[in-house]
Amino acid sequence: MWAGAGVGESGGSSTPPRRDDPLRVAMLSYRSKPHCGGQGVYLRHLTRELIDLGHTVEVLSGQPYPELDRDEIVLTKIPSLDLYADENPFRTPSLHEFRDWVDVLEFAHMRTGGFPEPLTFSLRALRELRRRRRDFDIVHDNQVLGLGNLGIGRLGLPLVTSIHHPISVDRRIELEVARGLKERLGKRRWYGFVAMQSQVSRRIGTVLTVSESSKVDIVKDFKVDPRHIEILPLGVDTQIFHPRGERVPGRIVAMASADAPIKGVDVLLRAVAKLATERDVHVIVVSRPQKDGPTERLVRELALGERVRFVGGIGDDELGELLASAEIAVVPSRYEGFSLPAVEHMASGTPLVASRAGALPEVVGDAGALVRPGDPEELAATLLRLHDSAAERERLGAAGFARVQERFAWPAVAKATVGHYRAARERTRTRAK
């Protein structure tokens, strides 16, 4: 029996809740890749820590579904038509797969070049929450920001929203690198959902974000009142990411979506191609590029051959071993709202080279080497300097490891998040009086 009944369940009881009452949390996430993409990683670690603090958590997620670290976490699947599955993207579903008008909307949106999942997931999640409003004390939106979210408050449920960074930044970078009018128009249509996210973000109350850089961008691009934005950095799982002994000579490792221009894998590949003419190096990218997509074509153009390898679908321990095996780690992004990979590389004691972009200088501080985003020449020169200096690698690796221990821990993130949950619940109670 829960000591503190949720909003809508108390029947008007005037007994104030104890500050240590456990909360029943509904976590919304329209897609939850466990190892690639900050939203899935965030969900996985935060839900684990919330359980360990004594709260209950139910994850409402679309495909791909998350990996969850505690048996006590309930996964409620909110299935989409799964139109963007890696093995069959942009597919045409059979007629019997259509269940209702939301499915029709999703398919029509996709066929006209848009990305419907934030909108359609929010509508499905609202339907589930409406049916089960008495089951939860708080709803935490993991950057869905769909129109359906505007109905959550009308159910009497407090809402806290995480915006890791505004997707308007991704849109801007994609448009900058688009070639030709047709591709630019296609990108504008694909990112049409950003206008909805901007509108919703201004109307849903407290927003949690991960850095001062992201806060600035949310205020600038989404026009959210800065008084409604709270900064709460992310954490790292040091049981997975930690130093593990010997490193492979010449190994460079990056974790980044291979075909997303914002992640800068193209810049890294060009830098490695230049460095490989002078030194015996190779790079491993934790990602699966699109078959015959822009990254695979660039690898062939640069004649990198055995110098580059892409890996995906690996487990936690294998990922931790890989990161700790590198002589140098690279985050070559053109923008980051926070960058969990940067923190995970530093936790592994691996010397880090990162772009001077978005929140990366804020996250890395003086514990890594910073380079101009989008500049393969400077990146290659920095990699060369680190490759040739074991002492510099040792210094940066130790500095990064120390910074993580001081600043980034998931238990602290979870405790602070619960404080925001309680404040949101209190505001809802006050408005209801």
Please tell me whether residue 354 adopts helix, strand or coil conformation: strand
Average pLDDT over residues 108-126: 97
Average pLDDT over residues 69-81: 97
The pLDDT assigned to 19 comes to 52
Average pLDDT over residues 56-64: 97
The whole-angstrom separation of Cα 420 and Cα 207 is 10
For residue 220, count other CB atoms closer than 10 A to its CB. Answer: 12
Nearest to 132 by CA among 207, 24, 228, 225: 24
pLDDT tops 50 at residue 81 = yes
Torsion of Cα atoms, 45 then 78 then 26 then 49, to 10°? -10
Sign of CA dihedral 306, 310, 315, 319: positive
The pLDDT assigned to 411 comes to 92
The whole-angstrom separation of Cα 313 and Cα 191 is 27
pLDDT tops 70 at residue 2 = no
pLDDT tops 70 at residue 4 = no
| Residue-range domain boundaries for the chain | 24-235+410-426, 251-407
The answer, yes or no, to whether the previous bond of 249 is cis (omega within 30 of 0) is: no
Helices (H), 114-211: 117-131, 168-177, 180-190, 193-201
The pLDDT assigned to 87 comes to 84
Cβ partners under 8 Å of residue 78, min gap 6:
60, 61, 62, 121, 124, 125, 128
C-alpha distances in Å from residue 427, one per residue of 129, 153, 205, 422? 20, 11, 10, 9
Average pLDDT over residues 168-176: 93
The pLDDT assigned to 5 comes to 31
Q: Provide the percentage of residues in the chain whose pLDDT is more than 90.
A: 86
The whole-angstrom separation of Cα 387 and Cα 361 is 22
The pLDDT assigned to 37 comes to 61
Assess whether the region 24-235+410-426 and the region 251-407 belong to the same CATH fold: yes
The per-residue pLDDT for range 180-228, each reduced to its tens digit, is 999 999 999 999 999 999 999 999 999 999 999 999 999 999 999 999 9
Q: Are 163 and 118 in contact (CB under 8 A)?
A: no
In this structure, the chain runs to a length of 433
pLDDT class for 432, splitting at 50, 70, 90? Answer: confident
Nearest to 424 by CA among 144, 230, 163: 230
The per-residue pLDDT for range 348-407, each reduced to its tens digit, is 999 999 999 999 999 999 999 999 999 999 999 999 999 999 999 999 999 999 999 989
The pLDDT assigned to 57 comes to 98
pLDDT tops 60 at residue 7 = no
The per-residue pLDDT for range 303-358, each reduced to its tens digit, is 999 999 999 889 899 999 999 999 999 999 999 999 999 999 999 999 999 999 99
Nearest to 106 by CA among 96, 120, 118, 93: 120
Identify the CATH class of 24-235+410-426.
alpha beta
pLDDT class for 17, splitting at 50, 70, 90? Answer: very low
The pLDDT assigned to 40 comes to 87
Order of strands across the sheet with 24-29? 74-77, 56-61, 24-29, 138-142, 159-162, 207-209, 229-231
Superfamily of domain covering 251-407: Glycogen Phosphorylase B; (3.40.50.2000)
pLDDT tops 60 at residue 8 = no
Cα angle at 381 between 379 and 382, to 5 degrees? 65
